């Protein structure tokens, strides 16, 4: 059989793959969406739905196990250009959603009041508009009513925006904007509403029959003698199109791939909700990676003296951790050095013992024969003449085979 292909080390393959990636992919924010805490099938489905929102710059098929820790995902973030991590944590009383900026924070913790899965949203809509091609490009982010007093609002809005790649208005292709994500903040209830929509652009001012033909639908001409009869028998629009708001009408700056949407022509932009839905409330903001100083808390308000005490306590814990880590590193280096010296000492003693045995044999030969032996007669050879064999149980012997204990055979004599 011929030799198989040479295996490539994962690090080498990763480095080569990263070198071939375009700058647009490298600079775009990537994300990990995982769930922790108690197991629940609905939370698992919600995690998968949120990954669909973050596509294509997310780990859609990420496999997570209970044995995995947050630091495991953080250690892999640099290889995959991951900048944010979303964590759904299911507790006995509530569900929380944490957004972490990798690798050093800050960390935002939200309390999820309500959520609706994508399959439930799509099943409730009258006209289902979902296409796999819509998830090949990142969605457009829309922020509503985040202007207000408080630095936590600005930080929350900035975090949501930085989770998705930015759009260059001068170079963007309108045809790539197929989805949008809406974050709306309510100042009275302090709740954040998240919605996910699919964008559809329809030409305006065409008859219903013409729209079907332009859209690629094969018309039923069974009751018509000519195509003219099919075009002229219907009105200009259906009931749903008649209720279309004029504020949704726009003049296209570019020609789209969808039929009928030409440059400098009027079209209508329609949104179809594809889910999931989230209603959440900001609880706290931490400075580090899920640990550190609490910059904002919705329920607890502390004085400056209490904040200063907490800062000193956190700094003390940090220094103690660094000191402990340094001590562990020194102990590990010292133990490795001692082990190496012991191995060298054992090898040296074994060599001296073999040399002394050879000298004793040469002196014995000289005393008995009366002349010096040949140099090769008692040469130190660890592999051949002085080879040691191992016995079961840790016993050793030199140049001799083990003797097996054999019991003498009993002879039987028959009386004659």
With respect to residue 325, please indicate whether it lies within any of the assigned structural domains. Answer: yes
pLDDT at 116 over 90: yes
Higher pLDDT, residue 16 or 237: 16
pLDDT of residue 128: 78
HSE, CB side, 13 Å, CA atoms: give it for residue 234: 17
Co-location of 23 and 71 in the same domain? yes
With respect to residue 413, please indicate whether it lies within any of the assigned structural domains. Answer: no
Q: Which of 258-267, 345-354, 389-398 has the lowest mean pLDDT?
A: 389-398
Higher pLDDT, residue 224 or 311: 311
Contacts of 253 (CB under 8 A, 6+ apart): 174, 263, 264
pLDDT band at 323 (very low <50, low <70, confident <90, very high): very high
pLDDT band at 44 (very low <50, low <70, confident <90, very high): very high
With respect to residue 197, please indicate whether it lies within any of the assigned structural domains. Answer: no
pLDDT at 195 over 70: yes
With respect to residue 123, please indicate whether it lies within any of the assigned structural domains. Answer: yes
Q: Which of 83-87, 177-181, 344-348, 391-395 has the lowest mean pLDDT?
A: 391-395
**Rounded average pLDDT over 346-351:** 70
pLDDT at 383 over 90: no
Co-location of 147 and 108 in the same domain? yes
pLDDT of residue 409: 57
pLDDT band at 309 (very low <50, low <70, confident <90, very high): confident
With respect to residue 391, please indicate whether it lies within any of the assigned structural domains. Answer: no
With respect to residue 158, please indicate whether it lies within any of the assigned structural domains. Answer: yes
pLDDT at 37 over 60: yes
Higher pLDDT, residue 342 or 230: 342
Higher pLDDT, residue 121 or 301: 121
Biggest distance spanned by C-alpha atoms of the chain: 133
pLDDT band at 230 (very low <50, low <70, confident <90, very high): low
pLDDT of residue 146: 92
pLDDT band at 91 (very low <50, low <70, confident <90, very high): very high
Region of residue 31 (left: phi > 0; alpha: psi -120 to 50; beta: else): beta
Co-location of 69 and 85 in the same domain? yes
Co-location of 146 and 105 in the same domain? yes
Domain stop point among 340, 365, 389: 340
pLDDT band at 247 (very low <50, low <70, confident <90, very high): confident
pLDDT of residue 399: 52
Residue 110: Cβ-neighbour burial (10 angstroms; 0-12, 13-18, 19+):
buried
Co-location of 165 and 18 in the same domain? yes
With respect to residue 215, please indicate whether it lies within any of the assigned structural domains. Answer: no
Residue 34: Cβ-neighbour burial (10 angstroms; 0-12, 13-18, 19+):
middle
Co-location of 284 and 334 in the same domain? no
Into how many domains does the chain fold?
Answer: 2
Co-location of 26 and 46 in the same domain? yes
Higher pLDDT, residue 132 or 58: 58
pLDDT at 95 over 50: yes
Whether the full predicted model's pTM is greater than 0.85, yes or no, is no
Q: Which of 252-256, 381-385, 408-412 has the lowest mean pLDDT?
A: 381-385
Q: Which of 123-132, 240-249, 383-392 has the lowest mean pLDDT?
A: 383-392
Nearest to 207 by CA among 232, 226, 228, 227: 232
pLDDT of residue 315: 85
**Rounded average pLDDT over 305-330:** 88
pLDDT at 198 over 80: yes
Co-location of 293 and 310 in the same domain? no
**Rounded average pLDDT over 153-181:** 91
Co-location of 42 and 66 in the same domain? yes
pLDDT at 376 over 90: no
Co-location of 310 and 297 in the same domain? no
Higher pLDDT, residue 362 or 231: 362
**Rounded average pLDDT over 171-194:** 93
With respect to residue 22, please indicate whether it lies within any of the assigned structural domains. Answer: yes
pLDDT at 238 over 50: no
pLDDT at 277 over 80: yes
**Rounded average pLDDT over 130-156:** 90
pLDDT of residue 385: 43
What is the residue-averaged pLDDT of the chain?
Answer: 80
pLDDT of residue 279: 97
- Are 72 and 45 a contacting pair, CB within 8 Å? no
Looking at the chain, the whole-number percentage of residues with pLDDT higher than 90 is: 37
The helix or strand, by DSSP H or E, that contains position 229, with its residue range, turns out to be helix 227-233
Co-location of 44 and 63 in the same domain? yes
pLDDT at 384 over 50: no
Co-location of 45 and 72 in the same domain? yes
The range of the structural domain enclosing residue 324 comes to 305-340
Which CATH number goes with the domain that contains 292? 3.40.50
């Amino acid at each position: 059989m011929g030799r198989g292909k040479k295996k490539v080390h994962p690090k080498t393959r990763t480095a080569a793959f990263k070198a071939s990636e375009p700058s647009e992919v490298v600079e775009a924010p990537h994300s990990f969406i995982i769930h922790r805490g108690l197991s629940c099938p609905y939370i698992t489905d919600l995690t998968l739905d949120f990954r669909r929102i973050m596509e294509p710059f997310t780990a859609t098929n990420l496999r997570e196990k209970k044995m995995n820790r947050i630091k495991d995902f953080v250690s892999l973030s640099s290889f995959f250009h991951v900048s944010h991590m979303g964590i759904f944590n299911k507790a006995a009383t509530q569900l929380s959603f944490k957004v972490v900026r990798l690798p050093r924070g800050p960390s935002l913790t939200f309390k999820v009041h309500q959520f609706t899965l994508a399959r439930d949203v799509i099943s409730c809509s009258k006209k289902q508009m979902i296409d796999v091609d819509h998830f090949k490009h990142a969605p457009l982010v829309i922020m509503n009513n985040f202007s207000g007093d408080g630095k936590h609002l600005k930080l929350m809005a900035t975090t949501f925006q930085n989770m998705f790649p930015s759009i260059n208005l001068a170079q963007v292709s309108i045809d790539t904007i197929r989805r949008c994500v809406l974050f709306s903040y309510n100042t009275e209830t302090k709740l954040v509403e998240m919605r996910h929509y699919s964008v559809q652009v329809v030409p305006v001012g065409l008859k219903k029959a013409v729209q079907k033909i332009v859209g690629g639908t094969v018309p039923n001409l069974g009751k018509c003698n000519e195509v003219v009869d099919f075009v002229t028998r219907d009105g200009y629009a259906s009931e749903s199109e008649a209720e279309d708001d004029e504020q949704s009408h726009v003049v296209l700056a570019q020609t789209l791939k969808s039929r009928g949407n030409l440059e400098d022509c009027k079209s209508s932009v329609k949104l179809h909700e594809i889910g999931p839905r989230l209603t959440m409330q900001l609880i706290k903001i931490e400075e580090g990676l899920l640990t550190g100083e609490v910059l904002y808390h919705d329920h607890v308000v502390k004085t400056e003296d209490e904040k200063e005490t907490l800062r000193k306590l956190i700094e003390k814990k940090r220094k103690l951790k660094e000191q402990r880590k340094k001590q562990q590193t020194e102990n590990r280096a010292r133990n490795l050095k001692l082990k190496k010296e012991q191995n060298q000492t054992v090898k040296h003693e074994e060599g001296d013992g073999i040399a002394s045995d050879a000298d004793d044999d040469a002196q014995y030969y000289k005393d008995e024969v009366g002349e010096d032996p040949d140099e090769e007669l008692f040469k130190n050879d660890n592999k051949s003449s002085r080879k040691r064999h191992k016995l079961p149980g840790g016993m050793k012997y030199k140049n001799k085979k083990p003797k097996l204990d054999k019991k003498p055979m009993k002879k039987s004599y028959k009386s004659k």
